[in-house]
Chain A
Amino acid sequence: MLSNLLVQLINGIALGSTYALIALGYTMVYGIILLINFAHGEIFMAGAFVGLMLVTVFKVHIIFAFLGAMLFCMIMGVIIEKIAYKPLRRSTRLAALISAIGVSIFLSNLANLVFGAKPTTFPPTEEILFKIQTYELIAGAQITNLQILTIVTSAVLMVCLQYFIKKSRIGKAMRATSQDYDTAALMGVNVNRIISYTFAIGSSLAAAGGVLVGIYFGVVKYNMGFMVGLKAFTAAVLGGIGSIPGAMFGGLLLGIGEMLAVALGLSSYRDAIAFGILILVLLIKPTGLFGTQIQKKV
């Protein structure tokens, strides 16, 4: 029992770290333009497909496929913002939200058209990475090298992001813009450019998550963005939407919660449990665990 729990805990951390990567995009975009970017899950899906194509069709090394997917989605995210959200910046928030849902439906249908409705398999890990090995930890717990890779890659990306946001000039401008949009403009910040940076970073992290999930589960599918997108969004709300540490923490917590449900024999209810957590958080603490109440004038 204990060993099963520990195994699922580690699975949960691996899964949760990918949720966290994706949740960051939701939270960063929301923090700046108060939009729930419903198309973000599809960017994650696109990242997975681009990574897969680069490995299988273009025979690129997995590291370059990973970076290529991030670059592709970075550009894709910026273009989506320019086409679908920027023209609606002065409209109601609902209009932008509907536009985001539209982009989401468009992208998953486009992927369906291009790649078909059947799941596409990722090449086996031993061909693109390494042979899966399992290491024994204490008390019967186990971790695979693939899990280590997933967790470490996510952690490195998140540490880089945190450093960028805290220390760099652009990072500071992003924080200023998310705290007070007009006043950031009064400081000389080109807020349109900051919005583009935000989409670029959030989308490339989603792509990273996409490739990691693709390798981890071995399959990618046109509609994979929907459920993972919802989960990552839940993670962002759980941590407090708009809060970057909140998204990281929320992702991990959700991943662990889901896998512990599996450990307790409730595996067919894992999605219900994830969304049950969302409803509970919204009821008890709508600002989330790390949420702050700052007055916003946009």
Chain B
Amino acid sequence: MLVVENVDVNYGAIRALVDVSLEVHEGEIVALIGANGAGKSTTLRSISGLVKPNKGRILFEGSELQKCPPHKVVEMGISQVPEGRRVFPLMTVLENLEMGAFTRKDRANIKDDIDKVFAKFPRLEERKKQPAGTLSGGEQQMLAIGRALMSKPKIMLMDEPSMGLAPMLVQEIFNIVKEINQSGTTILLVEQNARMALAVANRGYVLETGQVVISGAAADLAKNEAVQKAYLGV
């Protein structure tokens, strides 16, 4: 479904990605793990079109993405939950959700889908008229996920959705990731919480200083000695 092929990304002199290749098949949850600065966010940003690869191709359902501007990428069915939630702080919860549906042509159904997001996250409904900047971190994360769902994506790119959340909420977020996947959305999940990520994922890739160093079935990665040492703290 999504293929990243030999992609290089440079920020000026910094080489953030070096010859990265990965694949996500329809229906999967794929985990992308790695330390700070490994290039995880850069990988997602290059898929979404926010940064342009210096080399390589990105294919989604057979068409090339690497030259598409971000809004075209969204229209093709790829949405992103960005790192650090990035809700629109001065817009209300409701307006944030409406922004998620910005590309949709079936405007009449948007209201129903907002209600579906509220059913999933009742806390958001109670706060729908409130500026998103006044929500707690956990609520903002739910809003960011709900907002990404509003475009009815085929694949959702999630950048560290559990970052900075209390352990109970972390569990809840991973349950939500599973639920979203079970209702038919493919997921590429970037996480520092490698244990949890590998527990929900089908497959995984490990990124180290811009390069994919190990990849395989999530269960195998969780048993891999090098992965355990570096990312699972065993």
Establish whether residues A172 and B99, one from each chain, have CB atoms under 8 Å apart when the complex forms. yes
Flag whether B79 is at the interface (Cβ < 8 A): yes
Flag whether A3 is at the interface (Cβ < 8 A): no
* Known A172-B98, A294-B89, A294-B90: A183·B82 in contact at CB below 8 Å: yes
Establish whether residues A175 and B88, one from each chain, have CB atoms under 8 Å apart when the complex forms. yes
Q: Which of B54-62, B66-74, B186-194, B224-232 interfaces with chain A?
A: B66-74
* Known A183-B88, A185-B50: A190·B99 in contact at CB below 8 Å: no
Q: How far is the CA of A185 from the CA of B49 in the complex (A)?
A: 9
Q: How many residues of chain A are within 8 Å of chain B by beta carbon?
A: 20
Flag whether B162 is at the interface (Cβ < 8 A): no
CB distance from B219 to the nearest CB of A (A): 32
Main secondary structure of the interface of A (DSSP, over half): helix
Contacts beyond the supplied A172-B91, A172-B95, A179-B88: 14 A-B pairs with Cβ under 8 Å: A172-B98, A175-B90, A179-B89, A180-B88, A183-B82, A183-B86, A183-B88, A185-B70, A185-B71, A187-B100, A188-B74, A188-B75, A188-B102, A190-B71
Task: List, in ascending order, chain B residues with CB within 8 A of A169's CB.
Answer: 102
Establish whether residues B70 and A176, one from each chain, have CB atoms under 8 Å apart when the complex forms. no
Establish whether residues A173 and B71, one from each chain, have CB atoms under 8 Å apart when the complex forms. no
* Known A172-B95, A182-B50: A187·B90 in contact at CB below 8 Å: no
Task: List, in ascending order, chain A residues with CB within 8 A of B147's CB.
Answer: 187
Flag whether A189 is at the interface (Cβ < 8 A): yes
Q: List 17 A-B contacts (CB under 8 A).
A: A172-B95, A172-B99, A175-B91, A176-B99, A179-B89, A179-B90, A179-B91, A180-B86, A182-B70, A183-B88, A185-B50, A186-B70, A188-B71, A188-B75, A189-B71, A292-B90, A294-B90
Q: How far is the CA of A188 from the CA of B90 in the complex (A)?
A: 19
Q: How far is the CA of A184 from the CA of B29 in the complex (A)?
A: 25
Task: List, in ascending order, chain B residues with CB within 8 A of A186's CB.
Answer: 48, 50, 70, 74, 79-80, 82, 86
Establish whether residues A173 and B69, one from each chain, have CB atoms under 8 Å apart when the complex forms. no
CB distance from B88 to the nearest CB of A (A): 5
Q: How far is the CA of A59 from the CA of B169 in the complex (A)?
A: 69
Q: How far is the CA of A185 from the CA of B80 in the complex (A)?
A: 10
Task: List, in ascending order, chain A residues with CB within 8 A of B100's CB.
Answer: 187
Chain B interface (Cβ within 8 Å of chain A)?
48-50, 69-71, 74-75, 79-80, 82, 86, 88-91, 95, 98-100, 102-103, 133, 147, 151
Task: List, in ascending order, chain B residues with CB within 8 A of A188's CB.
Answer: 70-71, 74-75, 102-103, 151
Task: List, in ascending order, chain B residues with CB within 8 A of A182's CB.
Answer: 50, 70, 82, 86
| Interface positions of A from 217 to 250, Cβ below 8 Å from B | none
Chain A interface (Cβ within 8 Å of chain B)?
169, 172-173, 175-176, 179-180, 182-192, 292, 294
Q: How far is the CA of A292 from the CA of B133 in the complex (A)?
A: 12
Q: How far is the CA of A19 from the CA of B86 in the complex (A)?
A: 34
Task: List, in ascending order, chain B residues with CB within 8 A of A179's CB.
Answer: 88-91
Q: How far is the CA of A250 from the CA of B88 in the complex (A)?
A: 25
CB distance from A287 to the nearest CB of B (A): 14
CB distance from A176 to the nearest CB of B (A): 5
CB distance from B234 to the nearest CB of A (A): 36
Q: How far is the CA of A176 from the CA of B75 in the complex (A)?
A: 18
Task: List, in ascending order, chain A residues with CB within 8 A of B90's CB.
Answer: 175, 179, 292, 294
Closest to B44 in A: A186
Q: How far is the CA of A190 from the CA of B90 in the complex (A)?
A: 20
Q: How far is the CA of A5 from the CA of B95 in the complex (A)?
A: 44
Q: How far is the CA of A172 from the CA of B70 in the complex (A)?
A: 18
Closest to B89 in A: A294
Establish whether residues A176 and B74, one from each chain, have CB atoms under 8 Å apart when the complex forms. no
Q: How far is the CA of A169 from the CA of B105 in the complex (A)?
A: 13
Task: List, in ascending order, chain B residues with CB within 8 A of A185's CB.
Answer: 49-50, 69-71
CB distance from A156 to the nearest CB of B (A): 25
Q: How far is the CA of A153 from the CA of B91 in the complex (A)?
A: 29
Task: List, in ascending order, chain A residues with CB within 8 A of B80's CB.
Answer: 186
